[in-house]
Amino acid sequence: MRPSGRQPDQMREVEIIRDYTCHAEGSVLVRFGNTKVICTASVEESVPRFLKGKGQGWITAEYGMLPRATGTRNGREAARGKQGGRTLEIQRLIARSLRAAVDLKKLGENTIYIDCDVIQADGGTRTASITGGCVALVDALTHLLNKGSVKQDPLKRLIASVSVGIYKGTPVLDLDYPEDSKAETDMNVIMTQHGGLVEVQGTAEGETFSREEMDAMMDLADKGIKALFQEQQKALGW
Amino acid sequence: MRPSGRQPDQMREVEIIRDYTCHAEGSVLVRFGNTKVICTASVEESVPRFLKGKGQGWITAEYGMLPRATGTRNGREAARGKQGGRTLEIQRLIARSLRAAVDLKKLGENTIYIDCDVIQADGGTRTASITGGCVALVDALTHLLNKGSVKQDPLKRLIASVSVGIYKGTPVLDLDYPEDSKAETDMNVIMTQHGGLVEVQGTAEGETFSREEMDAMMDLADKGIKALFQEQQKALGW
Amino acid sequence: MRPSGRQPDQMREVEIIRDYTCHAEGSVLVRFGNTKVICTASVEESVPRFLKGKGQGWITAEYGMLPRATGTRNGREAARGKQGGRTLEIQRLIARSLRAAVDLKKLGENTIYIDCDVIQADGGTRTASITGGCVALVDALTHLLNKGSVKQDPLKRLIASVSVGIYKGTPVLDLDYPEDSKAETDMNVIMTQHGGLVEVQGTAEGETFSREEMDAMMDLADKGIKALFQEQQKALGW
Amino acid sequence: MRPSGRQPDQMREVEIIRDYTCHAEGSVLVRFGNTKVICTASVEESVPRFLKGKGQGWITAEYGMLPRATGTRNGREAARGKQGGRTLEIQRLIARSLRAAVDLKKLGENTIYIDCDVIQADGGTRTASITGGCVALVDALTHLLNKGSVKQDPLKRLIASVSVGIYKGTPVLDLDYPEDSKAETDMNVIMTQHGGLVEVQGTAEGETFSREEMDAMMDLADKGIKALFQEQQKALGW
Amino acid sequence: MRPSGRQPDQMREVEIIRDYTCHAEGSVLVRFGNTKVICTASVEESVPRFLKGKGQGWITAEYGMLPRATGTRNGREAARGKQGGRTLEIQRLIARSLRAAVDLKKLGENTIYIDCDVIQADGGTRTASITGGCVALVDALTHLLNKGSVKQDPLKRLIASVSVGIYKGTPVLDLDYPEDSKAETDMNVIMTQHGGLVEVQGTAEGETFSREEMDAMMDLADKGIKALFQEQQKALGW
Amino acid sequence: MRPSGRQPDQMREVEIIRDYTCHAEGSVLVRFGNTKVICTASVEESVPRFLKGKGQGWITAEYGMLPRATGTRNGREAARGKQGGRTLEIQRLIARSLRAAVDLKKLGENTIYIDCDVIQADGGTRTASITGGCVALVDALTHLLNKGSVKQDPLKRLIASVSVGIYKGTPVLDLDYPEDSKAETDMNVIMTQHGGLVEVQGTAEGETFSREEMDAMMDLADKGIKALFQEQQKALGW
């Protein structure tokens, strides 16, 4: 039934490669099927103005897509002179989600920038970005610990994310682009390692969805995210 | 327990005034307690380029806040030279939600702009904008019908929205600013008159939320939105 | 002769409502006939860089129009990414005029922002903004006095403004939009309560104007502005 | 009494050099004392969109200052990424004024761009721009006539402009920078060759001005502008 | 003598991987040592306005760097709202160089966008971009030929580029970042497969360079570029 | 053979006028035939942030063109809201070149802005800007010495620049616009008074160039620049 031949509750193959580039404190290539995102975590020993002197740190994120990450070329945002609404929305979501992974007090007056750059897109770029970005974040926190810049590990828990949706009337897990572009409903779920919900964003396209469909999607998301935590832990060697 | 003394499942007083300004095809002042938003619906007899010649219409939205709608003055976005991420996110949400109210085919090659300008803010500006914007939209559709520009009423159903959240551990309905700024979780729910879900956006701040809490919030939202449909219908004289 | 049936020297009905919104130190809805402007005055306890340490304050202004304040929708300046020349010109005029109301030395190192947002336009938005903005300014100054932030009242005098013009060969007072769009000459006059001229801006459209016509317009303006001072004082309860 | 030793009703030396640069259809260097402006008039055989197909032409203007035209260096507007409010206000004034010189119907569907670039500033740059820009405009109109692009001369009359003000209590003509920066009132007057007023813009700085002072300034302006018409005609060889 | 231990005339290891991402008509990862650039070639069946109807095609290029491609994080150009001078300079160079590879007449009214995105930087990003971009370009041209969109192969010749410089007084080939940041002179040379020079850009930093040094650098560049043509051909399977 | 009738090794008439405008510390009109550029040098007693506290100065440059410096009007960069790639490239080149003239340590914590504004263009605007800008720079350095702001003369040597190219197969010196627009190769060479090369930028247009042609062009450039040093010294009265 699914264009990819997957079962409704089957995720795409996931791959998380650490140390993908050499300069960043954390650098991960995350792959959800054909979706590939480079996630880097960069440490800056200062905080934004609104946090100066408050003895806590900050996590922020930026998201981009190479112009030809997609089937037809998208104009470069740097050339157009501004980031679009979709970009801003996604990077706000990534940052908000990853802040839930960290005890900002323990981070001290440090800022971690998570940069997620999609080099190949096939649906689910924001969920892959959060999942991969969290691993890059862990590496950056370890770097700070090893360097002695922070005394106690600021990591509270891993965060991961997956999309679910209603495709041709059936709840499905981890939509790829052919599904995403035709799904009746698309929902992104972000959870912590301990099962708490961090963010839920469900949107109907054309058709509305019911409480029962929402429950079914939440069940699928729960299953998918558990698998993602295993991939993150495997990559981290935990 | 709530700063306003309201019961957990009690909404603020809601008021919907039609024909608030004189030029727009639909013009509504919507009030949720101290939150006041002017919502206008403007008809333009053309469609964006990507819809040219497809025989369907479009609904789009823009959102703004007067600089002193809030407790401290916010810089004017026009002066800063760009709309912030929060603004873009809200106006994308309003437009997406209100498109669910309309049969775009029946609308023909017309565009309706929904402008939501907050003149006084006290939490819930996006849910008030959707709820009031829907009434302005109905007036603009009636205008098109009366003028003969569309043959059949494009309105499929009313749309309304309310916020729910977890405040001091308790699920509450229709958060005002003092609650919103301290809530553990904040969720915006958008539904159709017939009970279908159009959008659900839940965000944890600091603490995560559970499936049970999500269910309790959804129940509250359902109750609140039903009351809003009554207010919309009363305002429309249905 | 006038589209509205008014006498050449007759102003539109004027209304000045204080405390129109709840957050600003001064908040006024001013109405000149169908022209309605929300004017707020916001206090900030600092001054722009060029005045730092000079022991004086500053008055600045910003002007905007809701997209559908006018007969056809105008693109939102925040979305277009810049304020147009007309907007900049008007807000410079408002700020310059209202600075004539205040002893900036007595104001101390405080800045007052006057925000004038047109919610419904029918000609004369800049003159209404100045007239209403002055009342909001008075309220903000009183707030500073009551709070003890300034020792002596910085208000030197009230400022008000009206437009005059030559319409179908006749000098007329307080042009509405149907007149303004066809007038041969349009002049904005700004005066103090004590009769001094603060600013005069007269522009011919197509036809030029003579010194005699200019004198006749100045006489009308003088009459109109006297009436406006009475409205301001009535609103202020003086 | 005046810093320059001039009489109150004495203008600075005025020079108008045609064909100052070689590419433009009209190219003038205008000098009012130490104020020097290059004014070019460029013809484009089309009109802005709002005039397409209406059988008439358009005059528009742009104004700029070299960064070091002034005593201290001003940041380049192209580098800052936008034209300031003062620039936009001046170029709107120049364009509006010069449109009064031309019968736009006779101009046909042609646009003339007037570019005024200040290479050295000492007060009065906008009045010099209008006065010099008019001569460049005449040359461009002659070019169109000679080429046969227009059948009848679109020139209705010359336009010129001068500033007047109240300096140390005395009305003075053609303020230079030392006067302008200290004047109580500054007024720019724009007139046609036939004595009609095109625009009057008077602004009080600190002190207000009276009707009597306004009359005295208008008399001075009238005298100064008559002298400017002679300079324009001399330059044009009329 | 060189930080990397290389001989003065020794290039870094070069790798050119085709089909690196799946959507673009040409997609190459090029590596010069630790410098890694993703180069894609995208076909658009139209030409810029200035070429409409002239029966020829166009090659254009855009260049970007992931924020953490470098040792310290660089602000994202999309977030800053404009491309910097260095970026614009490099992308103009890439486009100009690659146009020398193609017979634009044979390309017909097609545009090829070359996007070069640096994912890891260690000196020589512009020379790697040109060298890798040329291979992506060849693949896009082959795609057009295979599809029948062009009749004759528009490729005239391969183009490659290398940097040379004077480091501690010695001419060296293919500078990495530690050398580049300390070199007295830095020169980028771009050549065709047939030995013709396309572009030479040499810049002294602090010290000047002599004609003899320039000759020595040109000899090294010639040697390096010959090796690059072999890598390009090997990658292309020629 | 050349459109101007000049010999291949013949420069255009060069003129360097000092003190062209009255406010800047250095102000030069430089003319290469019909190319005319106003170059000013402005002193600011501070340095950019990245140099604060390092005890050295800085030279920066900005370049602009009046809209009608060219045969057809170019849109004003300030109005378009950004400087184009060509402008940024040229001003980076001017600044880099002129820094080679100065001992930045001896300059102390001062910045000199070189503004080059083309008032009439006929090819070679960047080479004229560098040549004239150097004279303005010398005047600004002398100003600092005379004022006692610097103790030792920071000038190390004069810098000048000329263009060379291959026009109809022949190497030619100092291309004007008719040559430049048709030349097969265009090269800009920048040298010091003592014969050292500061920058070489050669670009083939369509045809490539050979090492022999490059040598011939370098010989011509050497000759032309020697003549320019004489003009600079004559203007400076050395």
How is the beta sheet containing E58-65 ordered, strand by strand?
A: E14-18, E26-32, E35-44, E111-120, E58-65
Rounded alpha-carbon distances, angstroms, from residue D115 to A207, D62, D94, F230: 56, 5, 10, 36
| pLDDT tens profile F74-122 | 999 999 999 999 999 999 999 999 999 999 999 999 999 999 999 999 9
Min Cα–Cα distance to chain F from E90, Å? 10
Dist CA D192 CA D190 (whole Å): 7
Tokens of B126: 């996006």
DSSP state at residue D39? E
Tell me the DSSP string of C175-222: --HHHHTT-SEEEEEEEETTS-EEEEEEEESSS-B-HHHHHHHHHHHH
Q: Are E176 and E186 in contact, with CB atoms under 8 Å apart?
A: no
Dump strand ranges (E) for chain D.
14-18, 26-32, 35-44, 58-65, 111-120, 159-167, 170-173, 185-192, 197-204
Q: Which of D198, D210, D218 sits opposite C197 (nearest CB)?
A: D210
- Contact yes or no for E69 and A21 at CB 8 A: yes
Closest CA relative to residue E140, chosen from E65, E2, E11, E42:
E42
> Which residue, among D170, D181, D174, has the nearest Cα to D221 in the 3D structure?
D174
* pLDDT single digits (tens) D2-11: 999 999 999 9
Size of interface E-F (CB pairs under 8 A): 90
One DSSP character per residue, A141-176 reads: HHHHHHHTS-SS--B---EEEEEEEEETTEEEES--
Give the three-class secondary structure for E175: coil
Residue of F28, F42, F66, F122 to mutate for D, most D C-beta atoms under 10 A: F66
CA angle D192, D197, D199 (to 5 degrees): 105
Whether the CB-CB separation of A144 and A32 falls below 8 Å is answered with: no
| Mean pLDDT value across residues D46-58 | 95
| DSSP letters spanning A2-37 | -TT---TTPPPPEEEEES-SSSSSEEEEEEETTEEE
Q: In whole angstroms, what is the distance from residue E209 CA to residue C152 CA?
A: 70
Give the mutation candidate from D50, D97, D103, D199 for the C interface (greatest C CB count, under 10 A).
Answer: D199
- Mode of pairing for the β-strands spanning F159-167 and F185-192: antiparallel
Per-residue pLDDT at F197: 98
ipTM: 0.95
Instruction: Please tell me which residue of chain B has the smallest CA distance to A201.
Output: B201
Residue at E145: amino acid letter: L
Q: What is the pLDDT of residue B207?
A: 86
Parallel, antiparallel or unpaired: strands C111-120 and C58-65? parallel
Q: Contact at 8 Å (CB) between B206 and B184? A: yes
Task: Assess contact for B150 and B180: CB atoms under 8 A.
Answer: no
Q: What is the pLDDT of residue A206?
A: 78
φ/ψ of D202, rounded to 5, equals: -115, 135
What does the pLDDT look like over F180-204, one tens digit per residue?
A: 999 999 999 999 999 999 999 999 9
For residue F37 the two structure tokens come to 């550029």
**pLDDT averaged over 10-residue windows placed end to end, chain C, 238 residues:** 96 98 98 98 96 96 98 96 95 97 97 98 98 98 97 97 97 97 96 97 93 98 98 97
Mean of pLDDT over chain A: 97
pLDDT in tens, E9-65: 999 999 999 999 999 999 999 999 999 999 999 999 999 999 999 999 999 999 999
**Nearest CA-CA partner of C162 in C199, C125, C186, C188:** C188
pLDDT in tens, B139-195: 999 999 999 999 999 999 999 999 999 999 999 999 999 999 999 999 999 999 999
Q: Which of B97, B197, B213 to mutate to test the interface with A (most CBs of A within 10 A)?
A: B197
Element (H, E) at C95: helix C85-99
* Partners of residue C35 on adjacent β-strands: C32
pLDDT tens digits, one per residue of E150-199 = 999 999 999 999 999 999 999 999 999 999 999 999 999 999 999 999 99
Please classify residue B223 by burial: count the beta carbons closer than 10 Å to its beta carbon, then call 0-12 exposed, 13-18 middle and 19+ buried: middle
pLDDT at D55 over 90: yes
pLDDT tens digits, D149-177: 999 999 999 999 999 999 999 999 999 99
Beta bridge partners of F198: none
For residue A87, how many other CB atoms are within 10 A of its CB? 19
Start-to-end CA span in chain C (Å) = 36
Contacts of B62 in chain C (CB under 8 A): 67, 76, 79
Segments in chain E forming alpha helices (H): 77-80, 85-99, 104-107, 125-147, 177-180, 211-236
Model confidence at E120: pLDDT above 90: yes
Q: Answer yes or no: is pLDDT of B205 > 90.
A: no
Partners of chain F (3+ Cβ pairs below 8 A) = D, E
Which stretches of chain E sit within 8 Å of chain A by CB?
Answer: 21-24, 27, 34, 36, 38, 40, 42, 44, 62, 64, 66-71, 73, 76-79, 81-83, 87, 113, 115, 117, 119-121
Q: Name chain A's partners: 3 or more CB pairs within 8 A.
A: B, E
List the strands of the sheet with C197-204, edge to edge.
C170-173, C159-167, C185-192, C197-204, D197-204, D185-192, D159-167, D170-173
pLDDT tens per residue across span E130-140: 999 999 999 99
For C62, the closest of B24, B70, B76 (CB atoms) is B76
Interface contact A209-B196, CB threshold 8 A: yes
| Cβ atoms of residues C69 and B21 within 8 Å | yes
Name the stretches of chain A with pLDDT < 70: none
Backbone torsion region of residue F140, taken as left when φ is above 0, otherwise alpha when ψ lies between -120 and 50, otherwise beta: alpha
CA distance D161 to D189: 6
Output the pLDDT for position F117.
98
The partner residue sitting opposite E78, judged by closest CB among A36, A42, A83, is A83
Average pLDDT over chain F, rounded to an integer: 97
Write down the pLDDT at residue D1.
Answer: 87
Range C52-61 burial, b when 16+ CB lie within 10 A, else e: eeeebbbbbb
Helix (H, G, I), strand (E, B) or coil at C97: helix
Q: Which residues pair with A59 in a beta bridge?
A: A112
DSSP assignment string, D148-162: TS-SS--B---EEEE
- pTM equals 0.94
- Beta-bridged to residue D176, according to DSSP, are none
Number of cross-chain residue pairs from A and B with Cβ atoms under 8 Å apart: 90
CB contact under 8 A, E197 and F218: no
The distance between the two most distant Cα atoms of chain D, rounded to a whole number of Å, is 56
C-alpha pair distances (Å), C170 with each of C201, C225, D189:
18, 19, 22
Backbone angles phi, psi at F105, to 5 degrees: -65, -45
Helices and strands in chain E, H and E counts: 6, 9
Give chain C positions within 8 Å (CB) of D92: 85-86, 89
Give how far Cα B205 sits from Cα of A128, A193, B185, Å: 22, 17, 6
Residue type, B193: Q
Nearest-angstrom CA–CA distance, B133 and B114: 6
CA distance D119 to A203: 58
What is the per-residue pLDDT for A207?
86
Tokens describing residue E181: 């940041």
